Amino acid sequence: MINRRSALLASIAASTGSLSSKVFASPDYPNRPVRVLIGFPTGQATDVLTRAVASRLSTLYGQQFFIENRPGAAGIIATEMATKVEPDGYTLLGSSSGPLAVNPSLYAKLPYDVARDFVVVAGIAVVPYAVVVNPASP
């Protein structure tokens, strides 16, 4: 299992706000379409939020930011895929905290290391969840 320090680092990496990047500082970025990987199915909260952001970025930058859903394995498939692409800024990962902060504490072996393989570009949203029960339940 993962130790507490690694879990904390993963949590910090997943929740940190904007960080600088040479690619995003480039005056001609983007000069071609940008792929945004999502590790969840179409219509899920991460997908909906990322599509809204991608649409706005497409308008702002005059280049298409297109979504590629790679659902499965609690987001691990898309997250691993993001580690294997050319690090040129033209493939981004839209993710919830699950693959970046939760999975490292649940799985002893992951095909990625959040602290080593990723830099957070921006935090987008906080999506609250609730546990509910039928009011007639005891």
45-85 confidence digits (pLDDT tens): 999 999 999 999 999 999 999 999 999 999 999 999 999 99
Enclosing H/E stretch for 65: strand 65-69
Q: What is d(CA 19, CA 15) in angstroms, rounded to the nearest whole number?
A: 11
137 within a domain of the structure (yes/no): no
- pTM as predicted: 0.76
Q: Are 62 and 34 in contact (CB under 8 A)?
A: no
123 within a domain of the structure (yes/no): no
Q: At 93, which CATH number?
A: 3.40.190.150
Question: What would the pLDDT profile of 115-130 be if each residue is shown by its tens digit?
Answer: 999 999 888 888 788 8
74 within a domain of the structure (yes/no): yes
Residues near 108 by beta carbon (within 8 Å), at least 6 away in sequence: 1, 2
- Give pLDDT, residue 84: 97
45 within a domain of the structure (yes/no): yes
Question: What would the pLDDT profile of 88-121 be if each residue is shown by its tens digit?
Answer: 999 999 999 999 999 999 999 999 999 999 999 8
How many structural domains compose the chain?
1
32: domain range?
4-117
136 within a domain of the structure (yes/no): no
127 within a domain of the structure (yes/no): no
Burial class (CB in 10 A: 0-12, 13-18, 19+), 116: exposed
CA-to-CA dists, residue 28 to 59, 63, 71, 122, angstroms: 15, 11, 32, 20
User: Over the chain, what is the mean pLDDT?
Assistant: 85
Q: What is d(CA 118, CA 134) in angstroms, rounded to the nearest whole number?
A: 41
111 within a domain of the structure (yes/no): yes
